[in-house]
């Protein structure tokens, strides 16, 4: 089960090619990697942040950025928002070849300490 939901209403882009699959979630055991299409956007212009959520989702992961290409005189931008069900402890990210990779580390809930005694 994935702990992230892509929010379609919060996704926009300005590129000459429309991408109908701008992200992929890869889970491998406890590791979750979010792969985003950020073609045309400089890694220096990307902003990754976790913002407070609402009663349904405790937080949202937001990725946005824009870069102006001087040669084509075109601005490339994107904005993506994901609802997150589990609290995030840390995010490590990098961009290469038009893709941005976010490794998400979640806070694992503590198991309740309940004394169970048989009489």
Average pLDDT over residues 90-108: 93
User: Rounded distance, CA 108 to CA 76, Å?
Assistant: 37
pLDDT band at residue 1, thresholds of 50, 70 and 90? very low
Give the global pTM.
0.76
Instruction: Kindly state the greatest CA–CA separation across the chain.
Output: 79
Average pLDDT over residues 79-102: 92
Tens digit of pLDDT for each residue in 10-40? 666 655 555 677 888 999 888 899 999 998 8
Average pLDDT over residues 54-76: 89
Highest mean pLDDT among 16-25, 93-102, 107-116: 93-102
8 Å CB contact between 48 and 93: yes
């Amino acid at each position: 089960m994935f702990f992230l939901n892509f929010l379609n209403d919060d996704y926009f882009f300005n590129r000459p090619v429309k991408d109908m699959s701008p992200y992929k979630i890869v889970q491998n055991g406890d590791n979750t990697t979010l792969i985003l299409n950020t073609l045309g956007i400089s890694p220096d212009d990307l902003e990754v942040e976790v913002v407070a959520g609402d009663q349904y989702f405790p937080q949202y992961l937001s990725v946005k950025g824009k870069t102006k290409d001087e040669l084509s005189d075109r601005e490339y931008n994107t904005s993506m928002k994901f609802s997150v069900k589990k609290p995030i402890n840390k995010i490590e990210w990098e961009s290469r070849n038009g893709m941005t990779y976010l490794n998400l580390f979640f806070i694992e809930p503590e198991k309740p300490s309940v004394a169970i005694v048989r009489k």
